[in-house]
A = this chain, B = another copy of it.
């Protein structure tokens, strides 16, 4: 450990904050909390809202439900708009619902997920943010499993509070939540009357000005996160976004090639996690158990109402082609164990072909691009 009140930690937190500002594209405050992403979500609510405030909450998965629980716990009046799990929150829906929230009595803020990890959906945040900005509402976003892997411009898009966490695309161990605050979010802080002590972001900001944290931080996770950010800076955020996009695209092709239906709407599929259904009459928990016990491969199942119904494979952070190849190899064996008609290499080949197509350089001007490549790239 290093002393969290000493000069080494001071350099660490200063560098970490700057690196996060770079990746998140914000000049605003980036505050680090020793907590999981859910703690960051709670901080977002407790620091910007007041008791009985109305907010508009879009729910399209288990983490939307979590935002709802947090609002309820704090006495925030969340009007909940539910979207079928596996589908995205569409900007038009946000516009229509915001039209009902005009005037002084309307919702103060819009809350939603960026990546809804529980279903593998990436909500189109850029377009949604534009709609919310036009309506003049505060925008609070859970980007726990999206930020660091997808296109994101906190300031440019006008996101007031964005929450992410060390263990997802950032590739460090869990234990640190990351919360951005816009100047408008700080104005909301001033009128917020919800109880906050450990999650008080004003205290976090005051400590950060002394290159410290208000309470003892998870030092080892901070150090790991800094290593991650160094690796990320080497690769570059644009390349990271492309890698995630292409790996996800190819993963979906591999899943389909072994005969399994994708769960999330492909138009809004997450670049971080791919969800799919198990073979007919197979409980996904059984498939996941075989993957783990026989092939040392860890994937996740459905959460909440999707328990037993879907499989989720994560491909975020420092994930490479060989990692996903290993996964498909294990999946092929598992499907064979479950008496499914799968040829060895069937998923792997489709994955590799799709990845190859997706990553080919764009055609030069004046030449006709081969049709397959054009179709493959999205």
Whole-angstrom CA separation of A167 from B3 in the bound complex:
12
Q: Which residue of B lies closest to A67 (CB)?
A: B197
Name which of A34-42, A94-102, A152-160, A243-251 contacts chain B: A34-42
Which of B36, B219, B300 sits near A174, CB closer than 8 Å? B219
Q: Which B residues are in CB contact (< 8 Å) with A75?
A: 195
- For chain A, residues 221 to 235, give those with C-beta under 8 angstroms from any C-beta of chain B: 221, 224
Q: Which B residues are in CB contact (< 8 Å) with A38?
A: 197-198, 214-216
Is A377 interfacial (CB 8 A cutoff)? no
- Give how many A residues have a beta carbon under 8 Å from the other chain's beta carbons: 43
Q: Which B residues are in CB contact (< 8 Å) with A80?
A: none
Which of B46, B167, B218 sits near A175, CB closer than 8 Å? B218
Is A6 interfacial (CB 8 A cutoff)? yes
Which of B69, B173, B215 sits near A39, CB closer than 8 Å? B215
Which of B3, B4, B194 sits near A195, CB closer than 8 Å? B194
Q: B196 near A73 (CB under 8 angstroms)?
A: yes
Query: Does more than half of chain A's interface fall in helix, strand or loop, or is it mixed?
Result: loop
Instruction: Give, as a whole number of angstroms, the nearest-CB distance from A262 to chain B.
Output: 22
Among A198, A219, A221, A224, find the residue whose CB has the most chain B CB atoms closer than 10 A: A198
Instruction: Give, as a whole number of angstroms, the nearest-CB distance from A226 to chain B.
Output: 15
Instruction: Give, as a whole number of angstroms, the nearest-CB distance from A206 to chain B.
Output: 13
Given contacts A4-B174, A221-B218, whether A198 and B35 have CB atoms under 8 Å apart is: yes
Whole-angstrom CA separation of A243 from B257 in the bound complex:
63
Q: Which residue of B lies closest to A223 (CB)?
A: B173
- For chain A, residues 177 to 225, give those with C-beta under 8 angstroms from any C-beta of chain B: 194-200, 214-221, 224
Is A74 interfacial (CB 8 A cutoff)? yes
Whole-angstrom CA separation of A206 from B292 in the bound complex:
25
Given contacts A74-B195, A200-B73, A215-B37, whether A173 and B220 have CB atoms under 8 Å apart is: yes
Q: Which B residues are in CB contact (< 8 Å) with A300?
A: 3, 5
A34-60 interface bits toward B, Cβ cutoff 8 Å, 1 = contact, 0 = none = 111111001000100000000000000
Q: Which residue of B lies closest to A165 (CB)?
A: B216
Is A1 interfacial (CB 8 A cutoff)? yes
Whole-angstrom CA separation of A200 from B215 in the bound complex:
20
Q: Which B residues are in CB contact (< 8 Å) with A175?
A: 34, 175, 217-221
Whole-angstrom CA separation of A214 from B7 in the bound complex:
35
Q: Which B residues are in CB contact (< 8 Å) with A195?
A: 46, 73-75, 194-195
Q: A216 near B6 (CB under 8 angstroms)?
A: no
Q: B42 near A198 (CB under 8 angstroms)?
A: yes
Q: Which B residues are in CB contact (< 8 Å) with A167?
A: 1, 216
Q: Which residue of B lies closest to A71 (CB)?
A: B197
Whole-angstrom CA separation of A98 from B47 in the bound complex:
36
Is A93 interfacial (CB 8 A cutoff)? no
Q: Which B residues are in CB contact (< 8 Å) with A42?
A: 197-198
Is A264 interfacial (CB 8 A cutoff)? no
Which of B1, B174, B194 sits near A218, CB closer than 8 Å? B174
22 contacts between A and B (CB under 8 A): A1-B174, A4-B174, A6-B298, A34-B174, A34-B218, A36-B198, A36-B215, A36-B216, A36-B218, A38-B215, A42-B197, A42-B198, A46-B195, A73-B200, A74-B195, A165-B216, A167-B216, A173-B218, A173-B220, A174-B216, A175-B175, A175-B219
